[in-house]
Amino acid sequence: MKLDATPLIGQAITSVDKKDFSWFFVFDNGDQIVTESPWRLVTDQGIVVTSEDHEQSFGLPLPVDATESVKATLGSTPITDIHDDTKTGDLFIRFSGGRHLQFLQLSSGYEGWRLRIGDCEFICKGGGGYTSFPRQNTNSSVHRIT
């Protein structure tokens, strides 16, 4: 199954939260990306913030709040394109104004990110690529469709 993220086109990120080791990126329509792997926000000027920067002081008066940096940089900017690198499993989300949110797969064994779009969940596999599962409801069994 090909990664079809067209339902996210035109959506904006409404919230970014970090809970324990997981990052949650939620879109207007309720779809979301969850990751424990590194991510970064890039503009035409370069890297704005990464997951690795969160709560680092870098000699600043206050530690970096990556969630606030994402919200401030993206605001309600809509997604214009989304694609994945089929070899590495990296996921790239392009927003208008030359802004990009990149979810990086840096492990050959662990999952990288999970993208829920409607009734389907895409999971980045260790070593790259992804698999997908239909999500009919939480009480039904999950079937793999790759």
Q: Answer whether residue 94 is part of any domain.
A: yes
Coil, strand or helix at 58: coil
Q: Answer whether residue 69 is part of any domain.
A: yes
Task: Determine the pLDDT at residue 140.
Answer: 41
How many domains are there within the chain?
A: 1
Q: Answer whether residue 47 is part of any domain.
A: yes
Q: How many Å apart are CA 69 and CA 23, to the nearest integer?
A: 14
Going by pLDDT thresholds of 50, 70 and 90, the confidence category of residue 56 is very high
Nearest to 98 by CA among 42, 40, 25: 42
Q: What is the mean pLDDT of the chain?
A: 91
Q: How many Å apart are CA 79 and CA 37, to the nearest integer?
A: 21
Q: How many Å apart are CA 39 and CA 4, to the nearest integer?
A: 21
Going by pLDDT thresholds of 50, 70 and 90, the confidence category of residue 135 is confident
The range of the structural domain enclosing residue 73 comes to 6-134
Q: Answer whether residue 142 is part of any domain.
A: no
Q: How many Å apart are CA 53 and CA 63, to the nearest integer?
A: 9
Q: Answer whether residue 140 is part of any domain.
A: no
Q: Answer whether residue 139 is part of any domain.
A: no
Quote the pTM value.
0.88
21, pLDDT greater than 90: yes
Q: Under the phi-then-psi rule, with left for phi > 0, alpha for psi from -120 to 50, and beta for the rest, what region is 60?
A: beta
Please, are residues 31 and 8 in contact by the beta-carbon 8 Å criterion? yes
